[in-house]
């Protein structure tokens, strides 16, 4: 009960925070800023179902009252391999993304009644609020692009809409080139567009900043999604939301999900696997239990067999819904396109990825004591994860491997959606977007700190030591320095901790270097390393 009460309190706090922030009026607009277009990831756009006969619109993602029923009626769909389109089962309905507030409404706060709480539904809200503080203005320098996340990332209609959006943003901002900020699967969408429509991308885009993008897939998350479905919220909030089973039956027909599978031609440092404790009997009736382990390509027949009898009932008719090999072919072509994409010379690309979260990478079913005897059992079993470092959804190894010419790659401790409201991310974005100048700034009595790099990594050695390394760099802008202060300064710090029972020992060492530059600037670099051991 205490946990439930705590969740409720958190939701109320989120509600109060939203109310207080949405009531604020924008007091400062910076007309010199280049426009920003925010692009969400999977399930990150509000979707409306439109009745083709009456024109009536009904919100189907995300909604509270009747959420699961309307989700199944209006969003369940089948993939058409001839067109690459995912077609809604309800033939009298089509899906639209609302365009209110220049596209920002659809990606701001996904919760219609603000009762669920959490980062999953307060999507770009914190970032939008922050950008408005920096002087961005909705409709002039700040825009959003929502899309039907069921479709492929190279679905032609989505790419055509994005091309039109880029043109309209360029025009609305007075002919200024655009900064695109994508989150998660939105990075794959932008990468597809950049590859297929290079000329348009070059014409309208100045910078592209990808945040938490699954450039080489999200193997653990997608494997369990195929076999068990997924929940976008946890705990008591699921009672207001879409069931895991309903979500599973939708996503199994979505090419976008297949495009998030582990990249087959990527040289993984840690190869993601599907593992199954399997019970088998020989011709004499003797049984053995073995742990079978399948790399990405060899796992496909397991998906096919496990989902061979999967079906749904829609409008009174039973429909077979197995693992779709036609979608897999389509997705493999998409991944080939993504692997060959290049950033045009005059455009700058930046990559922010999440770290310090246990992230599902390999998935295991059954156990030595309770093995799997029939693969059809897999959709009913609880998956066990073998995790790696990442943001909780996308492995760091996948997010860092963009395969592009990057100006910078920055790792930030944070989870997959929470990273969108992380203060380190805001600091980095503000600097890259050149939005960190202050019209009232006076270098004689003030200074400005600009982050230029931030990276933290942690791993365990074979000997059981926990090793964490940190590197952070800043540029400090202040008053002009005297010639006597032109020397580089280097300092070091060392600390150690021993637990009361001597079972915990930890040491940390850090080096700080301050290097003067021109025009009153200083470059500061911090390198730190900690090692801890438990006896």
Please give the positions annotated as active site: 184, 391, 416
Tally of CB atoms within 10 A around 230: 17
At 418, give phi and psi (nearest 5°).
-65, -20
With vertex at residue 41, the alpha carbon angle to CA 351 and CA 345, rounded to the nearest 5 degrees, is: 35
The answer to whether the CB of 408 falls within 8 A of the CB of 386 is: no
What SS3 state is found at 395? strand
On the CB side of 208, CA atoms within 13 Å amount to 29
| CA-to-CA dists, residue 129 to 96, 228, 303, 448, angstroms | 25, 36, 43, 21
**C-alpha span between 443 and 437 (Å, rounded):** 12
The DSSP element (H or E) to which 157 belongs, if any, is helix 156-172
What SS3 state is found at 221? helix
Structure tokens at 508: 């940390």
What is the DSSP track for 246-283?
HHHHHHTT-HHHHTTSPPTTS--SS---EEEEEEEE-T
Exposure b/e, 112-148, CB count within 10 A at least 16 = b: eebebbbbbbbbbbbbbbbbbebbbbbebbbbbbbbb
């Amino acid at each position: 009960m205490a946990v439930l009460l705590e969740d409720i309190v958190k939701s109320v706090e989120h509600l109060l925070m939203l109310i207080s922030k949405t009531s604020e009026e924008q007091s400062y607009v910076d007309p010199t800023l280049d426009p920003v277009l925010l692009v969400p990831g999977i399930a990150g756009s509000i979707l409306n179902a439109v009745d083709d006969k009456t024109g009536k619109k009904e919100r189907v993602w995300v909604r509270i009252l009747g959420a699961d029923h309307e989700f199944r009626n209006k969003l369940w769909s089948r993939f058409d391999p001839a067109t690459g389109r995912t077609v809604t089962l309800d033939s009298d309905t089509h899906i639209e993304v609302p365009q209110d507030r220049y596209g920002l409404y659809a990606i701001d706060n996904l919760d219609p009644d603000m009762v669920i709480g959490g980062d999953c539904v307060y999507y770009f809200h914190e970032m939008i609020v922050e950008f408005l503080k920096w002087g961005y203005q909705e409709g002039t320098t700040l825009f959003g692009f929502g899309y039907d996340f069921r479709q492929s990332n190279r679905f032609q209609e989505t790419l055509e809409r994005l091309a039109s959006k880029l043109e309209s943003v360029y025009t609305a901002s007075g002919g200024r080139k655009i900064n695109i900020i994508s989150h998660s699967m939105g990075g794959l969408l932008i990468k597809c567009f950049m590859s297929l429509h290079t000329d348009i991308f070059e014409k309208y885009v100045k910078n592209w900043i990808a945040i938490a993008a699954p450039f080489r897939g999200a193997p653990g998350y997608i494997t369990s999604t195929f076999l068990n479905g997924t929940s976008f919220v946890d705990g008591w909030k699921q009672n207001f939301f879409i069931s895991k089973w309903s979500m599973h039956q939708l996503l199994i027909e979505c090419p976008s999900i297949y495009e998030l599978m582990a990249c087959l031609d990527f040289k993984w440092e840690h190869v993601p696997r599907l593992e199954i404790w399997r019970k088998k009997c020989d011709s004499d009736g003797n049984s053995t239990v073995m742990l079978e382990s399948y790399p990405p390509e060899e796992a496909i027949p397991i998906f096919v067999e496990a989902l061979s009898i999967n079906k749904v009932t829609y409008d009174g008719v039973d429909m077979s819904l197995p693992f779709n090999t036609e979608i897999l072919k389509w997705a493999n072509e998409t991944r080939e396109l993504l692997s060959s994409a290049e950033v045009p010379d005059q455009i700058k690309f930046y990559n922010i990825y999440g770290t310090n979260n246990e992230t599902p990478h390999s998935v295991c079913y059954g156990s030595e004591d309770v093995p799997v005897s029939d693969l059809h059992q897999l959709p009913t079993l609880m998956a066990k994860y073998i995790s790696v470092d990442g943001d909780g959804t996308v492995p760091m190894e996948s997010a860092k491997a963009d395969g592009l010419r990057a100006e910078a790659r920055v790792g930030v401790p944070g989870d997959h959606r929470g990273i969108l409201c992380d203060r380190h991310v805001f600091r980095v974005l503000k600097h890259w977007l050149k939005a960190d100048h202050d019209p009232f700034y006076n270098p004689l009595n003030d200074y400005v700190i600009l982050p230029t790099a931030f990276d933290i990594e942690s791993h365990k050695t074979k000997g059981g030591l926990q090793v964490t390394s940190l590197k952070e760099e800043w540029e400090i802008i202040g008053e002009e320095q005297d010639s006597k202060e032109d020397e580089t300064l280097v300092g070091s710090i060392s600390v150690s901790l021993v637990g009361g029972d001597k079972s915990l020992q930890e040491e940390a060492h850090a080096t700080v270097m301050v290097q003067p530059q021109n025009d009153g600037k200083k470059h500061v670099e911090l390198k730190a390393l900690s090692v801890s051991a438990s006896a």
